[in-house]
Structure 1
Amino acid sequence: MRRTLLLLIGVFLASCQSGKDQKEDVKQEPMRTPEARKEVVYQVFTRLFGNTKTANVPWGTAEQNGVGKFSDFNEKALAEIKDLGVTYIWYTGVPHHALIQDYTAYGISNDDPDVVKGRAGSPYAVKDYYNVNPDLADDPAKRLEEFKALIDRTHAAGMKVLIDIVPNHVARNYEGKTNPNGVEDFGAQDRTHMEYHKDNNFYYIPGSAFAVPNWEGGYQPLGGEKNPLSDSRFKEVPAKWTGNGARSVQPGMNDWYETVKVNYGVRPDGTRDFPDLPEGYEYKGYQAHADFWADKELPNSWDKFRDIAEYWLDMGVDGFRFDMAEMVPVEFWSYMNSAIKLKNPDAFLLAEVYNPDLYRAYIRKGKMDYLYDKVELYDSIKHIVKGYGWTDHIPVVQKGLKDIEHHMLHFLENHDEQRIASPDFAGKAELAKPAMVVSATISTSPTMIYFGQEVGEPGKEQAGFGSPTRTSIFDYIGVPHHQRWMNEGAFDGGQLSAEEKSLRDFYKRLLNFTINSPALMGEYQDLHFFNKELNAKYDHRILTYARWSTGEELLVVTNFDEKKSYQLDLKVPQELLRKWKLSPGKYSLEEQLYGSVKSELLVPAGGAGEFRIELQPLESRIFKLLRP
């Protein structure tokens, strides 16, 4: 649903960007120190991870369907995640968001089902940025202490912690009950009689009252269950703009009606109440950006979100995933991220940006570390896995992103995307094994996997709000394949099938290889088109490339075909042999994932090198060159 609004977003942001185009020759390389290694992010939907209940009643309550807790991430669970090859855990759904559960005994107001998606609520409708979801605590009165303990356990297990910040919108019923001293709530000082003011936190429709959407297609909040607040009314006077920018007093049910849009000083006509970054600031560091903003009078919302980020950094969080960052002006990100980096230079900053035309601005001016590589690599790979895409497109993608490749985080699943094993994607998790090899090894960027991906979770559950193919983020639900790995809290895979165990073993081997390989933080060269021109047996279901750095040279070959085997004499161009400083002769090649296959690279006195390979369907080989 989010990406269907990109056209609207593009129009809204057109006037929010600097008029100067980014120079295409900028080099932003990763730190190529000998110890540099790739990062692996494990996204976990926190309330689903530890849930052992399997009833999966549509629209079921927490009592019926279960809900996981912070405490489920015990030392054993965290050790197993770390052992998978993970360096960061992104705990999704931690900030307190609107949900249908009575916590009034803890001073929390009840939420209205008419402006909550699902029963457990959307993690992107944050209700209180200075506290955490009470569902996740064994004792809701001590929920913040329990999350702090989870941060400490994660660090003790050798991993770092990411949480969400959702800067574009907040819950329709935002209510900061636990603000630190001196922190005013969103909207507390807003001039609500004005559609816009620079220091208003929201946009208003003066003289009007909000109306809940007209439900279509048989939808009813809570599936039609009676609830004292479910009456097709929600009091909001005057009405506010909806999170996706809808300006109607009655948004549609496909709008983000559960949220209200945050005002960053962009007037309704697109003009702005803050300055542009001067030309050349895309080449300057965090300190220069912070210095530029230091003496400026900026919209109140800028300071509010900076304070929120610093609060969680002080709590021990190591970085953030920023939801729909492209809907917020890039100048704000310059301000926000420079403040974060000055407080913690190692903070991991990941943003959801889907418009490729904005990538370089949000990296260079906005000072993002990483953006989703969704539109370029993910979409290309998905088409190949589904059978109608060609591997020819992947080297083209890599060439087009060469100057920013390190900043484009790779994934095959996340909470917004279809599960690989769902019928609407691949239907079988194994079909994505070559895709996962490519995603994890083709660049220096971090890799991300979504919990349950490693055991082939298909996302079939009819949870309530929304439809299957994605594990529900809106309702209480069990996650069957993941639960079999969890094995009633043993976290040992004891209930997995042989196929599921094999799949998890594959992920474990691959991810651990990536975080230990210096070559994957080094150079890349496409070998695909070179081989396609020279070998009639080589086709668009195969992909071949080289990765290397001082002390490690790799040749990566993948077969995306589900049925076809290949026997190939693959060529290595003379140019690469020179880069690797290989003298004529024979060099052993040792496969790195399973170690059972070897080959030889033949280096002639002149011309291309050659090595022979047999690939079974869906098989990949990562060969390391062994020098005498």
Structure 2
Amino acid sequence: MIKKITIVAGISMVLLASACKTKQSKMNVAKKETVSEKKVVVYQVFTRLFGNKNTTNAPWGTIEQNGVGKFNDFTDKALQEIKDLGVSYIWYTGVPHHALVHDYTAIGISNDDPEVVKGRAGSPYAVKDYYNVNPDLAVNPANRLQEFEALIARTHHADMKVIIDIVPNHIARKYEGKNNPKGVTDFGAHDDVTVEYKRDNNFYYIPNTPFEVPNTDAPLNGERNPLIDGKFNEFPAKWTGNGSRLAKPDRNDWYETVKVNYGIRPDGSKDFPELPAGFETKSVQEHFEFWAGKSVPDSWIKFKDIALYWTAKGVDGFRYDMAEMVPYEFWSYMNSAIKTANPNAFLMAEVYNPNEYRNYIRLGKMDYLYDKVETYDKLKDVIQGRCLPDGISDIQNHMADIEHHMLHFLDNHDEQRLASPEFAGTPEKGKPLMVVSTTISTAPTMIYFGQEVGEAGNENAGFGTHSRTSIFDYIGVPNHQRWMNNGKFDGGQLSENEKSLRDFYKRLLNFSLNSSALMGKYQEIQTANRQSTSGYDSGIYAFARWSDSQKLLIVTNFSWLTTSTFELKVPSDMVQKWNLKDGTYPITDQLYHKSTAELHIVNGEGKVWITIAPSESFIYEL
């Protein structure tokens, strides 16, 4: 999904593309954060699509034509296979009840106007009711909440934890909290709509002005619908989710949503207590105590209550959409409350401005942020031939103090599929990217369902475009469906190449879960080899990871054309840190346990002969 973002309320939303510039590399990264003992792997799954067995894939297809997956499709067998892949957490994307075009009036849900819904199945980020779940996902929509609670229990029984979305920045234009707990009022229920801004209003208004439907392509591809009449009843008009202050949003705005007010005045100033100087070093408990008894905007309280509601139901963590569009003081308030209720809660956020990373981690008390505009963008540039991989080291070095908090991924619902022509081109070309992304830091690794079997997102779904698996349409996911094999979840329809690819992911992810070195120290050895190693081709990248009990040399070949043979140098300072004496040490690849080599230490410097094929990677253990 291409996101158009307006600068709102003084919050800079500059999307910084990582440049292919090589800086002076530091030779060692000191780990400055306290980290868990093991790697974490997050499996993102678009819940609506996971269990769908229908292969019709008609553009703009209805739920009856193209089918839809259900909570119940995550059977014990399916969950065990995900667990065995090497997964710690499942992020069930699209669970909260969001606006969609399907008639559920029989169970008391109002119909949504297609003119303010993207696609037919609707955007999961236009939430209509935070205290219930998407009725599409239930076998019995009237019992949808109970079916999701059962899925939480099954996931826990499979020894994995549950993450769902919370989208504090915006909600659906037609929000209806029909399942609010006692004492909870709807968003906007007590707003003063005669003014643009008031601290405890939940929305920003354009007083005395009606909302106008934007000029878009024909809703539902021109299909007749009684609600498609060029009108949507909203008076006065509200600011749109991306911050547009137009009563008639642009077609590229997030017109299906409205912006939530967090006490940021229209001029960008803050209308709430600010954290005192030095609070970046304070504990979660101290943040929680700071907010106790303080008056905060009503929207803060509403979203804290939502998060605690789902925490009480057994949800183990949250993924926050467009978190930097909401002030970090709010995150301090909400995240400290969540962590007080569940100290082990897993809190990850979509943040794209590197200048704000440390604020959202240290002041906002986020556990993890997307490492998108640094590591992800760099790897994409490398595989597309726009730069050498050497700059990966610079990224790791200058984020040394926060590297554990920068979640790594190569595929998610917003991005082009790793295997698509628009990204790596083939699943095999994506393999060295996956090795580096998984092993270069102590941060969690995230994969997107279907990535492990080479899904390329080629379908013309309707509102959604190819190269991304649509989040707006009812659609099937072909490679994933072949693995699903009509609900057997045994990979029975996969090709040999797809089976081999899934085996690669399974080996890599499970190794990462159990490697102490990947939770230890990092040192690049790229500079020494690039400067003087004969045969060290442009697509080669190498680094070391180690702990007290495990030492690794990781070598990848981003080239899909060239086999490289060279004598890898292990610099003397690296040899000293590993306490190696002159001699010969056998090393064995930990991915396939087939490749062995010898590390020769002579006069305090190490060398090892390596032959590496296109798109191949070695994780050599000493």
Same-fold status (TM-score > 0.5):
yes
Say if 1:543 and 1:558, in contact at 8 Å, map to a contact too: yes
Q: Deviations over 1:114-153 (max 9, x none)?
A: 0000000000000000000000000011100000000000
Q: Deviations over 1:494-546 (max 9, x none)?
A: 11111111111110110010001011000000011111112132133111000
Offset, 1:27: 7.1
Aligned match of 1:20: none
1:513 aligns with 2:527: no
Give the Cα separation in 1 of the matches to 2:347 and 2:113: 33
Offset, 1:466: 3.0
Say if 1:333 and 1:366, in contact at 8 Å, map to a contact too: yes
Q: Deviations over 1:218-237 (max 9, x none)?
A: x2110100011111110001
Match for 2:455 among 454, 457, 460?
A: 457
Aligned match of 1:171: 172
Aligned match of 1:69: 70
Offset, 1:11: 4.7
Aligned match of 2:616: 619
1:82 counterpart letter in structure 2: K
Helix, strand or coil: the match of 1:362?
helix
Q: Compared with structure 1, are the counterparts of its residues 208 and 85 closer, same or farther at alpha carbon in structure 2 (3 Å cutoff)? A: same
Offset, 1:10: 9.0
Aligned match of 1:415: 413
Say if 2:572 and 2:604, in contact at 8 Å, map to a contact too: yes
1:53 aligns with 2:54: yes
Give the Cα separation in 2 of the matches to 1:326 and 1:434: 31
Q: Deviations over 1:466-507 (max 9, x none)?
A: 311100000100111110000000101111111111111110
Give the Cα separation in 2 of the matches to 1:27 and 1:131: 41
Helix, strand or coil: the match of 1:8?
coil
Offset, 1:307: 0.3
Give the Cα separation in 2 of the matches to 1:94 and 1:28: 36
Aligned match of 1:17: none
Helix, strand or coil: the match of 2:569?
strand
Alignment of 1:437-452 (within 5 A): 437-452=435-450
Aligned match of 2:135: 134
Alignment of 1:118-267 (within 5 A): 118-215=119-216, 219-267=217-265
1:120 counterpart letter in structure 2: A
Give the Cα separation in 2 of the matches to 1:535 and 1:193: 71
Say if 1:38 and 1:520, in contact at 8 Å, map to a contact too: yes
User: How many residues are paired up?
Assistant: 607
Helix, strand or coil: the match of 1:402?
coil
1:83 counterpart letter in structure 2: D
Helix, strand or coil: the match of 1:540?
coil
Aligned match of 1:22: none
Aligned match of 1:342: 340
Give the Cα separation in 1 of the matches to 2:53 and 2:600: 54
Q: Compared with structure 1, are the counterparts of its residues 474 and 318 closer, same or farther at alpha carbon in structure 2 (3 Å cutoff)? A: same
Say if 1:206 and 1:238, in contact at 8 Å, map to a contact too: yes
Give the Cα separation in 1 of the matches to 2:569 and 2:425: 34
Helix, strand or coil: the match of 2:535?
coil
Helix, strand or coil: the match of 1:12?
coil
TM-score normalized by the length of structure 2: 0.96
Helix, strand or coil: the match of 2:136?
helix
Say if 1:419 and 1:453, in contact at 8 Å, map to a contact too: yes
**Structure 2 gaps, min length 5:** 14-28
Say if 1:213 and 1:257, in contact at 8 Å, map to a contact too: yes
Say if 1:202 and 1:262, in contact at 8 Å, map to a contact too: yes
Q: Compared with structure 1, are the counterparts of its residues 536 and 4 closer, same or farther at alpha carbon in structure 2 (3 Å cutoff)? A: farther
Match for 1:30 among 29, 34, 47?
A: 34
Say if 2:10 and 2:269, in contact at 8 Å, map to a contact too: no
2:33 counterpart letter in structure 1: E
2:615 counterpart letter in structure 1: L
1:271 counterpart letter in structure 2: S
Q: Compared with structure 1, are the counterparts of its residues 238 and 10 closer, same or farther at alpha carbon in structure 2 (3 Å cutoff)? A: closer
Give the Cα separation in 2 of the matches to 1:10 and 1:43: 31
Match for 1:397 among 375, 395, 398?
A: 395
Say if 1:392 and 1:540, in contact at 8 Å, map to a contact too: no
Helix, strand or coil: the match of 1:485?
helix
Q: Compared with structure 1, are the counterparts of its residues 26 and 569 closer, same or farther at alpha carbon in structure 2 (3 Å cutoff)? A: closer
Give the Cα separation in 2 of the matches to 1:2 and 1:503: 29
Say if 1:30 and 1:444, in contact at 8 Å, map to a contact too: no
Q: Deviations over 1:6-49 (max 9, x none)?
A: x72595349xxxxxxxxxx99751336xxx11000000000100
1:12 counterpart letter in structure 2: I
Helix, strand or coil: the match of 1:577?
helix
Q: Compared with structure 1, are the counterparts of its residues 234 and 26 closer, same or farther at alpha carbon in structure 2 (3 Å cutoff)? A: farther
Say if 1:13 and 1:329, in contact at 8 Å, map to a contact too: no
Tell me which stretches of 4 or more aligned residues in structure 1 moved more than 4 Å.
1-4, 25-28
Give the Cα separation in 1 of the matches to 2:531 and 2:250: 53
Q: Deviations over 1:126-182 (max 9, x none)?
A: 000000000000001110000000000000001000000000000000000001111
Q: Compared with structure 1, are the counterparts of its residues 551 and 10 closer, same or farther at alpha carbon in structure 2 (3 Å cutoff)? A: farther
Match for 1:274 among 260, 272, 275?
A: 272
Match for 2:353 among 332, 352, 355?
A: 355
Give the Cα separation in 1 of the matches to 2:430 and 2:128: 37
Aligned match of 2:560: 562
Say if 2:536 and 2:565, in contact at 8 Å, map to a contact too: no
Q: Compared with structure 1, are the counterparts of its residues 260 and 10 closer, same or farther at alpha carbon in structure 2 (3 Å cutoff)? A: closer
Aligned match of 1:610: 607
Aligned match of 1:18: none
Give the Cα separation in 2 of the matches to 1:182 and 1:533: 67
Give the Cα separation in 1 of the matches to 2:77 and 2:285: 41
Helix, strand or coil: the match of 2:522?
strand
Say if 1:126 and 1:170, in contact at 8 Å, map to a contact too: yes
Say if 1:30 and 1:521, in contact at 8 Å, map to a contact too: no
Q: Compared with structure 1, are the counterparts of its residues 575 and 9 closer, same or farther at alpha carbon in structure 2 (3 Å cutoff)? A: farther
Give the Cα separation in 1 of the matches to 2:81 and 2:464: 31
Q: Deviations over 1:84-131 (max 9, x none)?
A: 000000000000000001001111000000000000000000000000
1:167 counterpart letter in structure 2: P
Give the Cα separation in 1 of the matches to 2:206 and 2:386: 47
Give the Cα separation in 2 of the matches to 1:30 and 1:562: 38
Q: Deviations over 1:419-461 (max 9, x none)?
A: 1222211221111100000000000000000000011111111
Say if 1:378 and 1:411, in contact at 8 Å, map to a contact too: yes
**Structure 1 gaps, min length 5:** 15-24
Alignment of 1:528-539 (within 5 A): 528-539=526-537
